Amino acid sequence: MHVIRHVHDLPPIARGGAVAIGNFDGVHKGHARIVERLIERAEDVGGQAAVFTFDPHPARLLRPEACPPPLTWTERKAELLADLGIDWVIAYPTDMGLLSLSPREFFKRVIVEVLDARAVVEGPNFFFGKNRAGNVETLAEFAAEANITLDVVQPLEVDGSIISSSRVRDLVSLGRVSEAQQWLTSPYRIRGLVTHGAGRGAELGFPTANLEGIDTLLPAHGVYAALGWVAGRPTPAALNLGANPTFGDMATKVEVHLIGSDQTLYGQILEVDFLDRLRDIRSFASVDELTRQLHTDVASAQQIAEDHLAAWGRTVGRS
């Protein structure tokens, strides 16, 4: 799979196939259904499957005060789409020039001229062009004129609820990460720069990697079972997201204890998957009581992570 940042870098092999346009935030199972159809259509027209997405999300330019944090960063989104079989991800640098195009201009410049698409696949809630004036009916009209096939893939439902990025965002915001995982194609992941913290974890026997610069949505405060990704390999982890009230420290922090690992990661980017929420953040009467609870948390987190890896067919990374 290849990521293209600028359309003038798009090679001939990436043109003339099938395309889906959208934000694909989180890459959930509804997106996977669209991708499945997209790959089928690419094969039908003898081309490759491409996703045209936006970086940043258009709302960040048009309504920055109302734009929620994303669920995925661009490279992660591309990785998840590649896992589904996509050949090309075009992460277009969103600007006001693009957002000012009318639906017909967008169709002509992007779908016809840039992509030379033979097939387009979208969901029923697709909108495009200035002020989101174009919809799937508009797209169908333009596609018919250009002799391009259009497939509209119906949303995927779970227990009567439509899977959407908004719904996944709600679940993650509430800390219901294991439930969100049932809707996503992969566990919910964040990334951050490992920085020096207060060192309390190491003093208690549970050294942590403190993450800063996180650019995606954070789940609700709590203690979580997690997986840390070091050099491309997963390591079971316990993650504390929130304050440290036992020590009177009420600042929000993301602290990751990589179980059984003694690697020094300062200055590196660490990616972390959220697997399940273990408990709320709370104050303990003593450091000894906190330490006993941490032993319980780490044991629970390790079991959940290893069960997840076993089901996934992966091995545990060790330092």
Q: What is the pLDDT of residue 312?
A: 83
Confidence of residue 317 (pLDDT cuts 50, 70, 90): low
Confidence of residue 133 (pLDDT cuts 50, 70, 90): very high
CATH class of 187-312: mainly beta
pLDDT digits 0-9 by tens, 188-242: 999 999 998 877 877 888 999 999 999 999 999 999 999 999 989 999 999 999 9
Q: What is the pLDDT of residue 315?
A: 57
Question: What percent of the chain has a predicted confidence (pLDDT) above 70?
Answer: 98
Between 199 and 54, the more confident residue is 54
Whole-number Å distance between alpha carbons of 128 and 106? 8
Does pLDDT of 263 surpass 90?
no
> CATH 3.40.50.620 in the chain, residues?
2-158
Is the four-CA dihedral 93, 94, 96, 99 of positive or negative sign? positive
Confidence of residue 318 (pLDDT cuts 50, 70, 90): very low
User: Whole-model pTM above 0.85?
Assistant: yes
Query: Which numeric CATH code is attached to 2-158?
Result: 3.40.50.620
- Select the highest-mean-pLDDT range: 107-116, 240-249, 256-265: 107-116
Q: What is the pLDDT of residue 238?
A: 98
Whole-number Å distance between alpha carbons of 78 and 4? 10
Average confidence score pLDDT of the chain = 93
User: Is the distance from CB of 22 to CB of 126 less than 8 angstroms?
Assistant: yes
Does pLDDT of 267 surpass 60?
yes
pLDDT digits 0-9 by tens, 164-194: 999 999 999 999 999 999 999 999 999 999 9
Q: What is the pLDDT of residue 313?
A: 80
> CATH 2.40.30.30 in the chain, residues?
187-312
pLDDT digits 0-9 by tens, 68-79: 899 999 999 999
Pairing of strands 88-93, 49-55: parallel
